[in-house]
Amino acid sequence: MNAKYKTGLLFISTLLISGCYSQGGWTPTVDSYNDQNSRFINQDMGDCQELAGQASGGTAKETAIGAGVGGLIGGAAGAAIGAFTGNPGAGAAMGAAAGGFGGAAKQGFSAEESYKRAYSDCMRNRGHKVVN
């Protein structure tokens, strides 16, 4: 299996895994005790989930962007390092794989945190007591 094939396989696998995880089904925990707006919790959760997805840019999309940018930077760095060892092609392939995976993970986690924060803030702004 050549280096380009391995790099492509790693890149595609990363995108598929992160895309499947997208927002992971997470919802904020809402304390309905003494909540004057408790009758609107389900409606507000649906609305806030949609708004949070828009605010975060979507985990799959952000992960793909991170993988692309990370792959480009990693490939360039790997080629430079590989040039010193006499094999810039292999260095670029390994750098692109490592950079793509790292960039995808960073952007994916960042989008997840943004999603959770936006979801919780939305519920709080609608008058609910959010525990997490």
The pLDDT tens digits of the residues spanning 25-53 come to 899 999 999 999 999 999 999 999 999 98
| Tens digit of each residue's pLDDT (9 = 90 or more) over 76-119 | 666 666 666 677 676 667 666 666 666 566 666 777 888 999 99
- Neighbouring CB atoms inside 10 A of 40's CB total 14
Strand intervals (E) in the chain: 30-31, 129-130
Q: What is the mean pLDDT of residues 21-28?
A: 72
pTM strictly above 0.75: no
User: How high is the pLDDT of residue 20?
Assistant: 45
What is the per-residue pLDDT for 28?
Answer: 95
